[in-house]
């Protein structure tokens, strides 16, 4: 049997409209003990994810744990991308066990869940395993998560992958939603986020545009 290729994107690729992003516990108290990723990189990657989701209009839930009494405010880099959006504060470590969060997931009604947050082995593993158990597809933005050690983060990632979670990165999340530079309506937004938050790739975009007026399309 001969296969015939077609210019059609794979069904597992994310689009702006097919998933709910849940950003979990990006808070001071949780970040103090995070050692698997440095704080600057963590904040940058979280900001990249937040601004990508906001820019593309992806459904997003922002949730905290014990914000007023213990863990502190969510990173400003995230909340700035969603001005006026309410934060769903929880007592449960597992976001999936919070009734308000589940009500919002059901209201949005997407079968795919994308997770990022602190810590990987607790606050990401909990909802990932719970969502998969209930038939959802789960993606985890690995470099927009962190844990108390490299070992804790890696074991958590492996545990989730073994039951079907798909690992991606922050920059991958942005570029997967753009996916074609001919999509001019989101071109400037995507390259703008990349220039500001995309690390060396962003520096390259700035250089190419400044020196040669380069354009990816």
Q: In the prediction, which pLDDT does 120 show? A: 98
Q: In the prediction, which pLDDT does 71 show? A: 85
Q: In whole angstroms, what is the distance from residue 51 CA to residue 171 CA?
A: 11
pLDDT in tens, 76-135: 999 999 999 999 999 999 999 999 999 999 999 999 999 999 999 999 999 999 999 999
Q: In the prediction, which pLDDT does 216 show? A: 63
User: What is the maximal distance between C-alpha atoms in the chain?
Assistant: 63
pLDDT band at 164 (very low <50, low <70, confident <90, very high): very high
Q: In the prediction, which pLDDT does 208 show? A: 80
pLDDT in tens, 37-79: 999 999 999 999 999 999 999 999 999 997 777 889 999 999 9
The answer on pLDDT for 214 being more than 90 is no
The answer on pLDDT for 206 being more than 90 is no
> Can you give the chain as a three-state secondary structure string?
CCCCCCCCCCCCCCCCCCEEEEEECCEHHHHHCCCCCCHHHHHHHHHHHHHHHHHHCCEEEEEEECHHHHHCCECHHHHCCCCCCCCEEECCCCHHHCHHHHHHHHHHCCCEEEEEEECHHHHHHHHHHHHHHCCCEEEEEEEEEECCCHHHHHHHHHHHHHCCCEEECHHHHHHHHHCCCCCHHHHHHHHHHHHHHCHHHHHHHHHHHHHHCCCCC
Share of the chain above pLDDT 70, in %: 98
Q: In the prediction, which pLDDT does 117 show? A: 98
pLDDT in tens, 8-31: 999 999 999 999 999 999 999 999
**What is the phi/psi pair of residue 107, to 5°?**
-65, -45
Mean pLDDT of 142-160: 98
pTM (2 decimals)? Answer: 0.94
Going from the N-terminus, what domains does the chain have, and what CATH number goes with each?
Answer: 19-179 (3.40.50.850), 182-217 (no CATH)
pLDDT band at 217 (very low <50, low <70, confident <90, very high): low
């Amino acid at each position: 049997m001969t296969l015939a290729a077609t210019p059609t994107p794979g069904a597992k690729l994310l689009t702006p409209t097919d998933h709910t992003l849940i950003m979990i516990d990006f808070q001071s108290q949780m970040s103090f003990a995070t050692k698997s990723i440095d704080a600057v990189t963590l904040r940058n990657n979280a900001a990249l994810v937040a601004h990508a989701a906001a820019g593309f209009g992806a459904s997003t839930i922002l949730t905290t744990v014990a914000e007023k009494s213990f863990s502190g405010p969510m990173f400003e880099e995230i909340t700035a991308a969603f001005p006026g959006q309410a934060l769903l504060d929880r007592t449960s470590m597992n976001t999936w066990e919070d009734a308000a969060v589940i009500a919002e997931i059901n209201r949005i009604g997407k079968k795919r869940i994308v997770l990022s947050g602190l810590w990987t082995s607790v606050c990401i593993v909990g909802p990932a395993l719970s969502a998969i158990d209930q038939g959802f597809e789960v993606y985890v933005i690995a470099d927009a998560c962190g844990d108390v050690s490299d070992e804790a983060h890696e074991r958590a990632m492996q545990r989730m992958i073994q039951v079907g979670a798909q690992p991606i990165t922050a920059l991958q999340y942005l570029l997967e939603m753009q996916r074609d530079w001919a999509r001019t309506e989101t071109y400037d937004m995507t390259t703008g986020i990349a220039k500001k938050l995309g690390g060396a790739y962003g520096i390259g975009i700035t250089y190419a545009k400044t020196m040669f007026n380069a354009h990816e399309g």
